[in-house]
Amino acid sequence: MVSIKSIALSAYALTAAQLVSAAPATTLPANAEEVKEVELGVYVNDITKNLMEYYAFRAEHPEQAYPGIIETAVFEDMMGQPQSEWINQLTTIDYNEVQSMFTGVPWYSDRLAPALSSSLKALNIATTVATV
């Protein structure tokens, strides 16, 4: 027979688990290095998966070029190098340049923003508005 006490304990445990899983472990400003690293990882992975689309966009919009180090990271990603081995090369890219590259493509809202949101959520990171 199930007791009231065991039901109450089960309900408490379930509620506590939901609260812990619902609250992000880390809240960072949008311009934090950790967030920039996630953005760059998403960006490089998207280029790797959609290389011809990026080449066509760059040909039409040469003012939207990305730094050469991005191409190096894309090449390493394509060759199967884990992200942990190439992401550190990208840390010298300025936050504003990252934002310009990331949001400057027409598929930002359809592809990059959802991928970034998923990546941050998987890492249990929430962001606040950046103050530059």
What's the CA gap between 63 and 86, in Å, rounded? 25
Q: Structural domain boundaries of the chain?
A: 25-128
pLDDT tens string 55-72: 999 999 998 888 889 999
pLDDT tens string 6-24: 444 444 444 444 544 555 4
pLDDT at site 23: 56
With a cut of 70, list the residues of the chain below it in pLDDT: 1-24, 129-132
What's the CA gap between 31 and 129, in Å, rounded? 8
DSSP code, position 25: S
DSSP code, position 125: E
